[in-house]
Amino acid sequence: MLTGLVTVLEGVARETMLFAAIGFLIGGIDDLAVDFIYLLRRGWRRAPALRARDATSSAPPAPRLAVFVPAWDEAAVIGPMLTTALARFDYPDYRIYVGAYSNDRATIDAVAAIAAQDARVRLVVNDRPGPTTKADNLNAMWHALSRDEADGVRAQAIVFHDAEDVVHPLELRIFARLIERYAAVQLPVRPLIDRRARLVSGHYADEFAEAHAKQLVVREAVGAAMPLAGVGCAIARSMVEAIATARGGDPFDAISLTEDYELGLSVAAMGGRGVLARVLDAKGEPVAVEAYFPGTLDAAVKQKARWMTGIALAGWDRVGWGRPFDLADHWMRMRDRRALLAVLVLGAAYVALVGWAMLSGVRWLMGAPTVPLLVPGWLLATNAVLLGWRLVVRVAFTGADYGWREAIWAVPRVFVGNLIALLAARRAITRYIAMLRGGALIWEKTAHDFPDLVHVPSP
């Protein structure tokens, strides 16, 4: 009986370990190629980072900007967010549109209280009860903006924020300057780390530090479409109108779970150019949008599952591969959609480890020799080197944004991120199957926190 069990365990462990090892090798080479392009670009372009005084100096009068803030069940944070934004924005002409729902009285009251004190805040109540989708909420604000501008000054760009965002004083000035040359502008997103949930909330900081300092830079370098983060970004009014016309009146697809990601691709498909604006303020720190991301395992899994469903599954169906023969763009979209494949490889690796441990235990009970390597040694060694490099890169980018203490935490957070990805993949597949069966799309959001700001810093 033990002999049969050994045979089965050897087969399972060998096949899963080989599958995982080859998968890790392919993924590692893919990541290494991105690192190589990034390092080449850094070496080729040694110009210092753009300073705020250069990015915001503009001779023409400041154009009007419209800030869209979708809000469903955000009574706890929308008040502090709006108060902080109104106090921080160092810009003369803007209006904040907040999209709420008729069946969310608490959020309506919180927004109305601030709108009564400041005409720059405009409450928009969606005709449909919530939650619908974030895109549907954005459409309601777009139509409200169009009605408001029927006989008045038109906004030159639409700026996007979430109800939990902490804005930077200079961001509107940067948008106003750069939107003259680009169809879309994205500022870095800097997740705040909740010290009470350092592992879960901190893994977002690690991922965004690398994504917005390296991956989006590489996308620009190879000429691929740049997806937007949905916060801290602006799109030229003319581009939003063009997208709305192409879609029959609504610029945001109400059946999309990741309208921000798809919007960036739509801008590129219509010939618009996007840019990641890494600008340093007077203190030498990047102008970025900050926010607390989920700090509990369950909330993080829900959010990651929505991203996986909208980008890797439904997004694949909806936006396809873009321009024919644009290999650089295809490569980047494949990287966007490899999340579920990566989780499959990761799951196989864990199965292989468990199988190898069980096999070793059974062989020990039988008095058999030690379990030999189940895959070629060179393959394991190569993957070990690639993993080590991956950790070094992650630590480096986290350290650059958050300091050396958080850089140390980035190592254990890699494994936390893997666990979240595994759990999110299962939820994403379940949601996707429900969508294919005609299930209704709803805004599955998480509860948000807004930081206690002792003072409002000057620009």
Domain boundaries, the chain: 51-296
Cβ partners under 8 Å of residue 74, min gap 6: 107, 110, 163, 164, 448
409 by DSSP, 3-state: which? helix
Q: In the structure, what pLDDT confidence band is assigned to residue 124 with cuts at 50, 70 and 90?
A: very high
Q: Is 90 exceeded by the pLDDT of residue 360?
A: no
Please state, for a pLDDT cut of 70, what percent of the chain lies above it: 88
Q: Is 60 exceeded by the pLDDT of residue 55?
A: no
Contact 301/420 with Cβ under 8 angstroms?
Answer: yes
pLDDT at 397: 96
Whose tokens are 């991120």? That residue is 417
Average pLDDT, the chain: 86
Q: Is 60 exceeded by the pLDDT of residue 115?
A: yes
pLDDT at 419: 92
Beta pairing partners, 125: 100
- Alpha-carbon gap, residue 393 to 399, rounded angstroms: 10
Region of poorest pLDDT, from 58-72, 369-383, 400-414: 369-383
pLDDT at 455: 40
pLDDT at 456: 42
DSSP class of 35? H
- Alpha-carbon gap, residue 320 to 381, rounded angstroms: 36
- Alpha-carbon gap, residue 13 to 372, rounded angstroms: 11
Q: In the structure, what pLDDT confidence band is assigned to residue 355 with cuts at 50, 70 and 90?
A: confident
Q: In the structure, what pLDDT confidence band is assigned to residue 170 with cuts at 50, 70 and 90?
A: very high
Q: Is 50 exceeded by the pLDDT of residue 454?
A: no
Cβ partners under 8 Å of residue 221, min gap 6: 37, 38, 41
Q: In the structure, what pLDDT confidence band is assigned to residue 181 with cuts at 50, 70 and 90?
A: very high
Greater pLDDT, 439 or 348: 348
Q: Is 80 exceeded by the pLDDT of residue 46?
A: no
- Alpha-carbon gap, residue 327 to 111, rounded angstroms: 46
- Alpha-carbon gap, residue 201 to 116, rounded angstroms: 35
Average pLDDT for residues 97-125, to the nearest whole number?
A: 96
CATH number assigned to the domain covering 51-296: 3.90.550.10
Query: With a threshold of 0.85, does the pTM exceed it?
Result: yes
- Alpha-carbon gap, residue 38 to 118, rounded angstroms: 45
Token pair listed for 259: 């309208």
Q: Is 90 exceeded by the pLDDT of residue 439?
A: no
